[in-house]
Homo-oligomer: A and B are copies of this chain.
Amino acid sequence: FLSVSLLTSMHNLRENPNHLRYDAWCGVAHGCTRKLGMKICGFLQKNNNLEEKITSFKERSSKDLLDNSDRDSRFRRTETDFSNLFARDLLPAKNGEEPTMQFLLEVVDILTNYVRKTFDRSTKVLDFHHPHQLLEGMEGFNLELSDQPESLEQILVDCRDTLKYGVRTGHPRFFNQLSTGLDIIGLAGEWLTSTANTNMFTYEIAPVFVLMEQLTLKKMREIIGWPDGEGDGIFSPGGAISNMYSVMTARYKFFPEVKTKGMTAAPRLVLFTSEHSHYSIKKASAALGFGTENLILLSTDERGRVIPADLEAKVIDAKARGCVPMFVNATAGSTVYGAFDPIHEIADICEKYNMWLHVDGAWGGGLLMSRKHRHKLSGVERANSVTWNPHKMMGVPLQCSAILVRERGVLSGCNSMCAGYLFQPDKQYDVSYDTGDKAIQCGRHVDIFKFWLMWKAKVCAHISPNNCLIFILYLCCLDLSHYLYTKIRDREGYQMVFEGEPQHTNVCFWYLPPGIRDMPDGQERRDRLHKVAPKIKALMMESGTTMVGYQPQGDKVNFFRMVISNPAATRSDIDFLTDEIERLGHDL
């Protein structure tokens, strides 16, 4: 259902720099719009010595605050002597307002410096140390919990050290996880969330956030394609919990008596998922009392996509063994290959055998926001439930994961316990807005605000009959992974793990050092190749230049899984990565 005119207009956007919307985003990633960047930000260019100014900003701000005309650079230590201030001097202490503001601004200075450095390619991604080294104390950084309160000066030093010895997950050369990047709007949203410090479980203490969650979940359901965005859902602490919700909800739909009588009230239930799927489905089957042996793994094609015929055969087999097939998980964006299971064909089988269809779009759900790529989730509108993690492809700070359920009532039916002492029915407002009783949690962190704010700041919607939207930024990541794929697929020393263009930004490959390239296929070559990726990864971490993940999969020895979810990454970073792999791996 991709609209040709839209694709054409996307093309035009690329060609015509006056169409800022697409290029302004992607110019960053493609390094092709220096001119454009100058044009956009021209009004800022008068400030040439920016870095220097920002570096001295905090000092001067402090001076101004205290109305002190002395411009001596040691001012802060003299006038706001944090070494003599303690937590007890902060609000709510009497006269605590000034030290509180001074302290928070000092913290912000540390954090904004960290933000700047995160985007600076001349900084390292990490400064690696082994656990025993950090535990012994690095240059006075003492992780042990103290017996006496430390001064605010020491607390500030602890903050700096914590960041110093951590990993810059927003660095343009950090490719290690599905969730990378440091989104400034999301960061602002998270700072605000921390400051508001409330709890999602009732409207009365989180009125704005509860409504934001409701509106955002509805929009997500519309994008999935459920009629009028009807249904239910909730933000949970991560994709694994969201997937657990899907299994629980399915069980409640088919066997509601399990809620009161336990699993022994149901027949022997079986679940199905791809052998490439995320391990959370297996964790859920263990935790919820199904047992991992009753989770049946489905075979995949060479690209890691479920083979529908294998599902049907295994359903028939399970029924023949007296089991009741109840639940199928289709993965939209697998962890390693980035594969999308064929949802329509799986949905057909689910309908035929009356099984719940869950789509785990934790990683791939973000593509629903792209006209160009959402066809990979074609059929998702037939799912009974969907997991979608904006903290992955959409760059929302961790944690931000939604479980969406098509049928209204089943999620709350499954989880509600009607605890009158927590959820009073006789409040003055419409208590259907109290979300606590449909969660398995009681207190629930506010995960919605950063996402809502990013949506407000970024989403370009082009309403169509299919309600597609474009979250433009992340198209760049897909373009970059295409660049990497075309660069290395025929390059000497590289071997792709599977043939053909990757479906998501996952690019899986072996790097073969020269000493291995001509070895005959066999166990010895496999053994040596298996050790290459771990060795290169260890060297990368020790040099601190970049990070990328590796793993074995099935009978395939360790390979790199490159994954791109950070809009700060550019082609130069991809080139840097391959250069680094070759530099570190050449002599292995």
**Apart from A100-B116, A167-B206, A239-B442, what 7 extra A-B contacts exist at CB < 8 Å?**
A57-B65, A129-B207, A155-B185, A187-B194, A263-B263, A264-B268, A401-B443
- Return chain B residues, CB-CB under 8 Å to A414: 286
The answer to whether the Cβ of A158 comes within 8 Å of any Cβ in the partner chain is yes
- Return chain B residues, CB-CB under 8 Å to A50: 97-98
Q: Are B264 and A286 in contact (CB under 8 A)?
A: no
- Return chain B residues, CB-CB under 8 Å to A268: 262, 264
- Return chain B residues, CB-CB under 8 Å to A553: 421
Nearest 6 A/B pairs, CB to CB = A289-B289, A262-B291, A37-B94, A92-B568, A428-B538, A190-B194
One of A101-109, A313-321, A378-386, A510-518 contacting the partner: A101-109
The answer to whether the Cβ of A7 comes within 8 Å of any Cβ in the partner chain is no
Distance in Å from the Cβ of A116 to the closest Cβ of chain B? Answer: 6
Query: Known interface pairs A112-B101, A427-B534. Does A149 touch B457 (Cβ–Cβ under 8 Å)?
Result: yes
The answer to whether the Cβ of A348 comes within 8 Å of any Cβ in the partner chain is no
List A residues 254-293 near B (Cβ within 8 Å). Answer: 258-265, 268, 278-280, 282-283, 286-293
Most chain-B CB neighbours within 10 Å: which of A282, A286, A452? A286
Bound-state CA distance A216–B415 (Å) is: 32
The answer to whether the Cβ of A61 comes within 8 Å of any Cβ in the partner chain is yes
- Return chain B residues, CB-CB under 8 Å to A567: 92
Give A12-40 as 1s and 0s: 1 = Cβ < 8 Å from B's Cβ atoms: 00000000110011011000011001101
The answer to whether the Cβ of A2 comes within 8 Å of any Cβ in the partner chain is no
Give A191-216 as 1s and 0s: 1 = Cβ < 8 Å from B's Cβ atoms: 11011111100011111110110011
The answer to whether the Cβ of A5 comes within 8 Å of any Cβ in the partner chain is no
Bound-state CA distance A531–B457 (Å) is: 45
Number of copies: 2
Query: Known interface pairs A57-B65, A184-B103. Does A25 touch B88 (Cβ–Cβ under 8 Å)?
Result: yes
Q: Are B551 and A456 in contact (CB under 8 A)?
A: no
Q: Are B198 and A167 in contact (CB under 8 A)?
A: yes
Query: Known interface pairs A107-B192, A430-B131, A552-B420. Does A215 touch B291 (Cβ–Cβ under 8 Å)?
Result: no
- Return chain B residues, CB-CB under 8 Å to A73: none
- Return chain B residues, CB-CB under 8 Å to A130: 429-430
Secondary structure at the A interface, as helix, strand, loop or mixed, is helix
Set B34, B97, B215, B441: member contacting A145, Cβ < 8 A: B215
Give A403-432 as 1s and 0s: 1 = Cβ < 8 Å from B's Cβ atoms: 000000000001101011110101111100
Q: Are B53 and A57 in contact (CB under 8 A)?
A: no
Q: Are A459 and B145 in contact (CB under 8 A)?
A: yes
Set B94, B198, B208, B294: member contacting A27, Cβ < 8 A: B94
Set B209, B445, B538, B541: member contacting A398, Cβ < 8 A: B445
Bound-state CA distance A444–B401 (Å) is: 11
Set B167, B288, B429: member contacting A288, Cβ < 8 A: B288
The answer to whether the Cβ of A54 comes within 8 Å of any Cβ in the partner chain is yes
The answer to whether the Cβ of A172 comes within 8 Å of any Cβ in the partner chain is yes
The answer to whether the Cβ of A115 comes within 8 Å of any Cβ in the partner chain is yes
The answer to whether the Cβ of A496 comes within 8 Å of any Cβ in the partner chain is no
Distance in Å from the Cβ of A61 to the closest Cβ of chain B? Answer: 5
Set B144, B203, B219, B263: member contacting A131, Cβ < 8 A: B203
Q: Are B47 and A147 in contact (CB under 8 A)?
A: no
The answer to whether the Cβ of A87 comes within 8 Å of any Cβ in the partner chain is yes
Q: Are A131 and B429 in contact (CB under 8 A)?
A: yes
Q: Are A184 and B87 in contact (CB under 8 A)?
A: yes
Q: Are A456 and B279 in contact (CB under 8 A)?
A: no
- Return chain B residues, CB-CB under 8 Å to A191: 107-108, 111, 191, 194
The answer to whether the Cβ of A494 comes within 8 Å of any Cβ in the partner chain is no
Q: Are B91 and A541 in contact (CB under 8 A)?
A: no
Q: Are A159 and B177 in contact (CB under 8 A)?
A: no
Q: Which residue of B lies closest to A148 (CB)?
A: B460
The answer to whether the Cβ of A309 comes within 8 Å of any Cβ in the partner chain is no
The answer to whether the Cβ of A335 comes within 8 Å of any Cβ in the partner chain is yes
Set B90, B108, B428: member contacting A108, Cβ < 8 A: B108
Q: Are B215 and A443 in contact (CB under 8 A)?
A: no
The answer to whether the Cβ of A241 comes within 8 Å of any Cβ in the partner chain is yes
Distance in Å from the Cβ of A78 to the closest Cβ of chain B? Answer: 11
Most chain-B CB neighbours within 10 Å: which of A116, A119, A188? A188
Q: Are A538 and B24 in contact (CB under 8 A)?
A: no
Q: Are B25 and A165 in contact (CB under 8 A)?
A: no
- Return chain B residues, CB-CB under 8 Å to A424: 534, 550-551, 558
Distance in Å from the Cβ of A160 to the closest Cβ of chain B? Answer: 10
Q: Are B192 and A159 in contact (CB under 8 A)?
A: yes
Q: Are A397 and B240 in contact (CB under 8 A)?
A: no
Query: Known interface pairs A60-B64, A244-B440, A441-B240. Does A166 touch B262 (Cβ–Cβ under 8 Å)?
Result: no
- Return chain B residues, CB-CB under 8 Å to A66: 47, 53
